[in-house]
Copies of this chain bind each other. A is one copy, B any other.
Amino acid sequence: MGKVKRIERVAALTKELVDHPYELYSFTDFCERFDVAKSTLSEDVQAIKNGLVAYDLGTIETLAGAAGGVRFIPYHSRASDSEFLKALAERMAEPERILPGGMIYMNDLLLSPKILMRLGEIMMNRNKGLAPEYIMTVETKGIPLALFVARAYNVPLVMARRESRITEGSAVSINYVSGSTKRIQTMSLPKRALPADARVLIIDDFMKAGGTAKGLQELALEVGAEVVGTGFLIATSEPESKMVDEYFSLFVLNGIDDKTRKTDIRPNC
């Protein structure tokens, strides 16, 4: 490789850092890989931090000591996040999305990697203190969001199934009562998916009464994990009393009027 200019190295360093939020890169490794002295690297990292902060694109954290290093934490300002969520709520409320039975079609929005990436970062930023070691969800519609929340925290995803699969080995199963339909359902998790005492954040796309979320919490406890939080893209305002006590959601759905084709959905800002 020929001589690389400082500004070129900074571009490469930025790419490495922002690609993997929360991943701690040791100064020593970076010095070797980018062939620079530690003092120069420190200056580069400071410049990257300044640039990201100036344009509201995240920040860089530096951890001192032997186990230290440097990592990227994505964030946008509260105002910019609110604006993003407000615009998304407007799209979700488009009358042509209303399906028979008062449901909303949202696949085109919630399967877009660009939208998912931002949603994952917002969820992470609003709940940084939870410090989960795993994100947990249940098939199927919660998976895309949960995966991008996992990306934002830089932790793996675990996925409960509606039935256990032979490709996943021995499993723990629980029965739970769906809050809306009152039917008894089954959900299972491979035994080896979560180590005991793992800190787990439960993520799903939608909560009405909270039966599925309650089931996920019980399943996590059953394998000895600790549930540090439960979050949804959308929670309905009715019923007011949910089967889970503490949760957060990015949006509140107040109602869908089939006749007037009006959807009342608002971001939690």
Interface residues of chain A, those whose CB is within 8 Å of chain B, are 1-2, 4-12, 14-16, 18-20, 23, 33-34, 47-48, 50-52, 54-55, 57-58, 99-101, 103-105, 107-108, 111-114, 116-117, 139-141, 143-144, 147-148, 150-151, 154, 156-159, 161, 166-169, 190, 192-193
Contact = CB atoms under 8 A, between A and B. Distances in A.
Given A140-B161, A156-B108, A167-B103, A113 B151 contact: yes
A132 to B, nearest CB: 13
Given A8-B51, A117-B151, 19 more contacts: A1-B54, A7-B47, A8-B48, A10-B14, A10-B51, A11-B11, A14-B14, A14-B15, A14-B18, A15-B18, A15-B51, A16-B57, A19-B117, A34-B55, A99-B169, A103-B169, A113-B151, A140-B161, A144-B147
Copies of this chain per assembly: 2
A16 B14 CA distance: 10
Contacts of A104: 167
A52 B139 contact: no
Contacts of A143: 140, 143-144, 147
B140 A50 contact: no
A192 to B, nearest CB: 7
Contacts of A47: 5, 7-8, 11
Given A105-B168, A147-B147, A51 B156 contact: no
6 contacts: A4-B51, A8-B47, A10-B14, A11-B11, A11-B52, A114-B154
B156 A11 contact: no
Contacts of A139: 139-140
Contacts of A8: 47-48, 50-51, 54
